[in-house]
Homo-oligomer: A and B are copies of this chain.
Amino acid sequence: MASTQQTSPSHRDNILTGANVIVCGGGIRGAAAALALARKGAAVRLYERSPEFAEVGRGLQIGPHGWRILERWGVLPSLIERGFLPKRMRFRDALTDAPLLTMDFGESFQEHYGGRYMVIHRSDLLSCLIDAAVAAGAELHTGMTIVGAGNASHGVVVDLTRRCENDCNHEVTEQVKVDVLLAFDGIHSRFRAELSDDAPVPSSYVSYRGTVEAEGDPLEGLEDVVGHIGPHCHFIQYPLQGGQLLDQVGVFRSERYLAGHQNGEIPGDWGNPDELEDAYDHCSPQVSARIQHLWTNRWWQMADHAPLENWTDGNIIVLGDAAHATLQYLASGAVMAMEDADCVADFAADAARDSEELDWASVLEEVQAERLPRCSRIQTTSRFWGELWHLEGTGRIVRNALFRAAENDWYQYTDWLWRYDPSARAHIKEPSLGIVPRELREWRYRVVGGHSDARDPAGAES
């Protein structure tokens, strides 16, 4: 049913008129949810605790799985204007600069996936989504923190605090009752904490970012996403803002963190710019010469969640990073949240068409049934994909051979990721779609320092 009721890109309907929705969290993920629901006529209030909407000005990749959703939401034109549509993705060996695999994003790709590949500043994406959400009628609030929420009869009671408008350091509390609460409150989600006592899973990898003006740079005119992958590190570069900027992303394993993890005391200086200084010494000049373009005032530890078995509590659901924070190797963290948002709006609209009164708890159960297997597979595969990029020695050579062998046949590895459409309810119909291949299921991700085989006695998780 859902697929036959697909709306055209700019079409909005009012099927959710009368529904009251709160979105917790005003990053890209929450803004996407506010837009998706407001487009269907729901009364959406979004609360962000920071004083303003902001994302760090660094790039984000959006595959065709995200493109098709953004197209449905009608926001593509403004995104394309500020982003960049790379011609291809080129993987190269970080040690030798040798080409490994070129994924062409041309006509054949676009026809196969019904979408394009886009890169864009996070801040540009966020502001587009916020503008569109506001235009669709959503109410967006900053400086307001959701401090609690509980299911009440046919709805959710939400407690909020905000700073007094006179800036008198006084907190004002209010309580609202709505139909449903969508918690996009990130990897350290307070709502996830009510469903599970698990914590984010740290990794020994640290990420540095940096953008530079393209003009005069040796890479001026770059039209591709270029990813150098190598032992314990990778480095990704692509154009932004119509090619005026070049974005750099350097990710490497912190040997200090690893050593600290092993002897039980993680040093305060792990992953800092001193460590960055040496982290690419083993790489080709094409990589090591670029680290000067990384910002050294900020860096990020890579972390994710293990898949969670339940996202819902009545009319409350965790989504986005709160539900399924992932490592970045499949460039699908933000897109998964867009899929979540699209799925909630779509399933709610279908339910509204089917009955007088919308049973949000059932809608959220259905959303979870569709989304959880999908996101679990992305989380697990992202972990594997990272290990794959960072292989050394024999494994690296084999990986390189596999990448080269895939040159004309790589859709087999990306179809499951990029052809997915939540409205098709594919995982509800066939839950096994979320199951990774057996070898990957038995593969054990080790938080620190690699990987092992499930049945290998030496392979206990660290």
Could you list which residues of chain A lie within 8 angstroms of chain B, going by C-beta atoms?
Answer: 93, 95-96, 98, 231, 281-282, 384, 387-388, 391-402, 405-406, 409, 438-440, 442-444, 450-453, 455-457, 459
Neighbouring B residues of A96 by C-beta, 8 Å: 438-439, 442
| Residues in B whose Cβ lies below 8 Å from that of A444 | 393
Which one of B394, B405, B438, B452 contacts A388 once the chains associate, using CB atoms below 8 Å?
A: B394
A394-B384, A395-B394 known; A455 vs B95 contact (CB < 8 Å): yes
Q: Do the beta carbons of A457 and B282 come within 8 Å of each other? A: yes
Distance, CA A98 to CA B442, complexed state (A) = 13
Query: Which one, B281, B388, B393, contacts A398 given CB within 8 A?
Result: B388
Question: How far is A96 from B441 in the complex, measured between Cα atoms in Å?
Answer: 12
A309 CB to nearest chain B CB (Å): 25
In order of increasing CB-CB distance, the 4 nearest A-B pairs are A395-B395, A393-B451, A387-B394, A402-B402
Determine the distance from Cα of A190 to Cα of B427 in the docked complex, in whole angstroms.
68
Question: A455 vs B384: C-alpha distance in the bound complex, in angstroms?
Answer: 24
A393 touches B282 (CB 8 A): no
Among B98, B442, B453, B457, contact of A439 (Cβ-Cβ < 8 Å):
B98
Whether B394 and A456, one on each chain, are in contact in the complex, defined by CB atoms closer than 8 angstroms, is no
Sample of 12 more A-B contacts, CB < 8 Å, known A392-B453, A397-B440, A405-B405:
A95-B442, A98-B438, A387-B394, A388-B394, A391-B394, A391-B395, A393-B452, A393-B459, A394-B395, A394-B450, A395-B395, A398-B402
Instruction: Tell me, in angstroms, the Cα distance from A442 to B444 when the chains sit together.
Output: 29
Q: Say whether B443 contacts A393, CB under 8 Å.
A: yes
Min CB–CB distance A204 → chain B (angstroms) = 14
CA distance A399 to B394 in the complex (A): 10
Residue of B with least CB distance to A440: B397
Q: How far is the CA of A95 from the CA of B392 in the complex (A)?
A: 22
- Chain B residues with Cβ below 8 Å from A402 are 398, 401-402, 405
Q: What separation, in Å, do the CA atoms of A397 and B381 have in the docked complex?
A: 12
When distances are taken between beta carbons in the complex, the residues of chain B under 8 Å from A397 are 384, 439-440, 443
B439 with A400: CB separation less than 8 A: yes
| CB <8 Å contact, A456 and B231 | yes
- Set of chain B residues within 8 Å of A453, measured between Cβ atoms: 95, 231, 282, 392-393, 396
CA distance A364 to B61 in the complex (A): 61
Residues in B whose Cβ lies below 8 Å from that of A440: 397
| Set of chain B residues within 8 Å of A95, measured between Cβ atoms | 442, 453, 455-456
Cα(A424)–Cα(B96), bound, Å: 34
CA gap between A96 and B439 in the complex, in Å: 8
Min CB gap A400→B, angstroms:
6
What are 18 A-B pairs at a CB distance below 8 A?
Answer: A96-B439, A98-B439, A282-B453, A387-B393, A388-B398, A391-B394, A391-B398, A392-B452, A393-B444, A393-B452, A393-B456, A394-B450, A395-B398, A396-B439, A398-B398, A400-B439, A405-B405, A405-B409
